[in-house]
Amino acid sequence: MSLKITSENFEQEVLNSTEPVLVDFYADWCGPCQMLAPILEDISDSDIGVKVGKLNVDEEMPLALQYGARSIPLLILFKDGKPAAKSLGYVEKEEILKLIEGANGN
């Protein structure tokens, strides 16, 4: 299950996480974001060593702007508290898994 990321828990859940965190910058009104949601839930429920979080850009605009979420959906994989990989727009599950593997050095 995906974790709701907010300005209150961003530092703890993303920046200080001991495991990689895939953050989905999304909005409820965004069609491609809605198409991506079940794929991210599937990844979240799998055991691939990555935590999945969802950050609503309408509710968390300062964080969205800080990480360049000018278009959505935007996926950013954070590793050791820093952005390690990004993907913009709707992508298939295989592409997301490649993004995760690439950032993990596999």
Report how many domains make up the chain.
Answer: 1
What are the start-end ranges of the H helices in the chain? 10, 31-45, 61-66, 93-103
Look at residue 1 in the predicted model and tell me its pLDDT: 74
pLDDT at 27: 97
pLDDT tens column, 18-68: 999 999 999 999 999 999 999 999 999 998 889 999 999 999 999 999 999
Query: Which residues are designated catalytic?
Result: 30, 33
- In the chain, the percentage of residues whose pLDDT exceeds 70 is 98
CATH number, domain with residue 66: 3.40.30.10
Angle between helix 31-45 and 93-103 (nearest 10): 60
**CB of 20 within 8 A of CB of 10?**
no
For residue 8, which phi and psi values (nearest 5 degrees)? -70, -35
Q: What is the pLDDT of residues 63-105, one digit of tens each?
A: 999 999 999 999 999 999 999 999 999 999 999 999 998 877 6
Q: Which domain holds residue 27?
A: 3-103
